Chain A
């Protein structure tokens, strides 16, 4: 059973603002029945351009219903500009937190809000140039980028928890990983202090332990640090990686990229016999 906060339970059992606003100023529908949750949000402004009324209809689990209820409560009384600044984390915080696997419910709320405001402003709902990354859940690169940026996500699993992307067939995991790396690379400061050898080894070990091994283990693989010679990082593959034909690609595109990102851009990964 999920561990929901009392606030989530309360908003699920007694949801506020269920329904559809008559003659709405902004309205949007996100999600789909195939994805397992969907939200229709509508709102109306008063003469001072503040949100007077906001209502929702939601198909989904308890946390999806509670997130929708919370969202409508939060935006009432706000101007459109203020409402634009509400993030998915604000929705989760309003509910006293959501289980990690359910964060996508708060993201759905945020998406519906944005789309409803765009509808009010007469702007195109779809961001121009957005590409579908996850076919199963229809998640675009823009959505994933934003979730990574706003929630400081570091792994594919986290992206799935927040956006559902990657939760189906799993074919897009590499693409998601690349987006995560790209966004996180942007966030890094350009200038790095020069590392001593011992600092470098420690940081490599920490990066392997925290960032790299968990996601390899997720696929049944593993990696072991054998030695560090200058900028050459010598590793041995274990588990599923040891017999995997694609492990070269994983080492180059994932492990090396990660270490360059987290430790030093000059590092080179090399596989050695165990």
Chain B
């Protein structure tokens, strides 16, 4: 059975070009870039190249790029550094819809006595900028807001948010794990202090990430060790993955237009067709302020895990914000923060596309999904009463 992979916000396939670039650095050129011999030195040269490629994707300077092990590490390093460099401040501003990498970290810091303000979002998942402004105080050590949401694709105006933060002398961090490679990012045009990127969301391997730190930003390292990354992140460099990530950044820059034209068109086609063919369905999140590859659709009166498992029978991969898929008993914190009713939240499915998806794949999903939803609604006690109410009215 062919796999139709529409779960690219969870992880992506490593691009063939990336894999090819990485291979020699496992076996042929395995030297340590810190070594004094030219066998290691030639790898150091490739790392410099990768750093330049990564910097180019986001309009940064190469020395503003630190390679880490993942997006979560980057988030941890950024927030903990802001706290360490402002030890007298005890307040953090973030949002209710952040990724667990930020959210759980903040919960943990709250236990250690920090005051956390979690900004609410409206029913479209958009941030209230006035509330952000009001929540920033002289005691605020850092504001951390995601650039784009992983579940809904909704984009926060972080370039405006950072200006509000700086007016009050508050350092600003953004988790750009979902937005990097999908929408243009140019660090020359904003004043964001720190930004996190994850390799495996943009066709590089898992286990590699980036923390961008603007020149002149005070930084205290999270991972203490050797002199790697100019002492800002100890630990021998993951050379094949860094070189792969460099290549992936180069490809992402090249694919940016495809992402916002062809991928966006496929996403829109999928979304429009599903809403048309499946009654009682709707999109979660703002339709305009949104990543081009993501759609989060709720199918009322059915449960997400059951939808996913029936989709799985056809080889279709996606995600759900339902309680049963999360392992907890409540639906996704993002949908709850947006006030999505339970009837909708339990039946939410996130489709996230990539440049590797084809028209045929989207057509296949458009054909199969209405059948799946109808089958589950046929079993649902709530659907029966809704259908009866509709028939009698």
Contacts and interface: CB of A to CB of B under 8 A. Distances in A.
Interface in B118-153: none
Interface string A86-104: 0000000000000001000
A12 B343 contact: no
B120 to A, nearest CB: 17
Interface stretch (B25-33, B273-281, B324-332): B324-332
Interface in A155-200: 160, 164, 167-168
B339 to A, nearest CB: 14
Given A33-B382, A240-B111, A61 B329 contact: no
Contacts of A83: none
Given A33-B346, A167-B330, A168-B330, A62 B382 contact: no
Nearest to A2: B305
A40 B330 contact: no
Interface stretch (A52-60, A119-127, A230-238): A52-60
A58 B380 contact: yes
Contacts, number: 75
B246 to A, nearest CB: 33
Q: Which of B302, B329, B380, B382 has the most CB of A within 10 A?
A: B329
Contacts of B303: 36-37, 59-61, 64
Given A12-B306, A58-B380, A62-B306, A33 B301 contact: yes
B382 A101 contact: no
29 contacts: A2-B305, A12-B306, A13-B310, A18-B378, A20-B384, A33-B382, A36-B322, A36-B331, A36-B346, A37-B303, A38-B381, A38-B382, A57-B379, A57-B384, A58-B379, A58-B380, A59-B301, A59-B302, A59-B381, A59-B382, A60-B324, A61-B305, A62-B309, A65-B306, A137-B329, A167-B329, A167-B330, A220-B111, A240-B111
B79 to A, nearest CB: 19
A33 B343 contact: yes
Interface in A28-57: 29, 33-40, 57
Q: Name the 8 nearest CB pairs between A and B, nearest first.
A: A167-B329, A61-B324, A61-B305, A57-B381, A40-B381, A34-B342, A59-B380, A36-B323
B88 interface: no
Contacts of A220: 111
Contacts of A9: 309
B1 to A, nearest CB: 15
A215 B306 CA distance: 31
B305 A39 contact: no
A65 B381 contact: no
Nearest to B309: A62
A167 B343 contact: no
A15 interface: yes
Nearest to A37: B303
A12 B329 contact: no
B360 interface: no
B167 interface: no
B381 A39 contact: yes
Interface of B is mostly: helix
A36 B382 CA distance: 12
Nearest to A60: B303
Interface of B: 111, 301-306, 309-310, 313, 322-325, 327-331, 342-343, 346, 378-384
Interface in A6-28: 9, 12-13, 15, 18, 20
A71 B310 CA distance: 21
Interface string A61-83: 11011000000000000000000
Q: B328, B330, B383: which has the most chain A beta carbons within 10 Å?
A: B330
Contacts of B306: 12, 60-62, 65
B257 to A, nearest CB: 35
Contacts of B382: 33, 38, 59
B25 to A, nearest CB: 32
Nearest to B300: A33
Contacts of A35: 329
Of B302, B305, B380, B383, which is in contact with the most chain A CB atoms at under 10 Å from its CB? B305
Contact of B379 (A33, A36, A65, A137): A65
Contacts of A15: 379
Nearest to A240: B111
Contact of B305 (A62, A160, A240): A62
Contacts of A12: 306, 309
A204 to B, nearest CB: 28
Nearest to B112: A243
Contacts of B342: 33-34, 36
A62 B306 CA distance: 5
B328 A167 contact: yes
Nearest to A58: B379
Given A36-B324, A60-B303, A29 B381 contact: yes
B347 to A, nearest CB: 9
A197 B309 CA distance: 55
A236 to B, nearest CB: 19
Given A33-B301, A62-B306, A18 B379 contact: yes
Contacts of A59: 301-303, 379-383
Contacts of A58: 379-381
A167 to B, nearest CB: 3
A142 B342 CA distance: 26
Contacts of A33: 301, 342-343, 346, 382
A136 B330 CA distance: 10
A2 B304 CA distance: 13
Nearest to A9: B309
A219 B47 CA distance: 42
Given A61-B303, A62-B306, A164-B329, 20 more contacts: A12-B306, A12-B309, A13-B310, A13-B313, A18-B379, A33-B382, A34-B342, A36-B331, A36-B342, A38-B382, A39-B381, A59-B301, A59-B302, A59-B381, A59-B383, A62-B305, A136-B330, A160-B329, A167-B330, A168-B329
